[in-house]
């Protein structure tokens, strides 16, 4: 009983920072090979891809610091070089935050999928990318400007949609 309570408290402590920031309201995937953008609004899917989770998040629980190295849409924070010639998709995560003018804000990443290797890659826009300013206004991850292996959860949702 006590172990279950402690486990529950730890899970709440880890989840609370993300929940306090807000939720993802919609995911839009756009790319040249798509007839029209793919829009995801299913709460069951959106709940797995909260912008304020994964790399760049962390905190202190019972005096122990932790830092997420996977989650959101990536499998790890070890940078990789994507294969050449892959189709690039712009993925927009509309969040329940507004800018000073009352416009909805969005976090943007880029996704490429290598069908031969069965592997996807995610790019977090860097300082020289137009999406960087808005992204870091929402969350600074300290991994921006590089490609990372996509998480299995992200690939399982996106791959069937873009094929």
Q: What is the pTM of this model?
A: 0.83
Q: Which domain holds residue 158?
A: 22-56+68-162
* 4 located within any domain: no
* 108 located within any domain: yes
Helices assigned H by DSSP within the chain: 2-21, 43-46, 132-138, 152-162
In this predicted model, what pLDDT tens digit does every residue of 105-155 receive, in sequence order?
999 999 999 999 999 999 999 999 999 999 999 999 999 999 999 999 999
* 5 located within any domain: no
44 Cβ contact list (under 8 Å, min separation 6): none
Measure the CA–CA gap between 14 and 53, rounded to whole angstroms: 9
What CATH number should be reported for the domain holding residue 43?
2.60.40
* Per-residue pLDDT at 9: 34
Domain count, the chain: 1
């Amino acid at each position: 009983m006590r172990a279950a309570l402690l486990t529950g408290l730890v899970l709440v402590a880890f989840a609370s920072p993300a929940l306090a920031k807000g939720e993802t309201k919609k995911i839009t995937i756009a790319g040249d090979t798509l007839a029209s953008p793919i829009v995801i609004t299913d709460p069951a899917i959106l709940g797995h891809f909260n912008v304020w989770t994964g790399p760049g998040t962390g905190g202190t629980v019972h005096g122990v610091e932790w830092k997420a190295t996977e989650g959101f849409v990536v499998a790890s924070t070890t940078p990789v070089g994507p294969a050449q010639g892959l189709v690039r998709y712009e993925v927009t995560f509309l969040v329940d935050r507004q800018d000073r003018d009352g416009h909805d804000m969005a976090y943007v990443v880029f996704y490429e999928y290598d069908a031969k290797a069965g592997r996807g890659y995610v790019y977090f826009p860097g300082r020289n990318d137009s999406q960087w300013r808005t992204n870091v206004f929402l969350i600074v991850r300290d991994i921006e400007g590089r490609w990372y292996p996509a998480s299995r959860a992200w690939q399982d949702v996106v791959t069937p949609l873009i094929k």
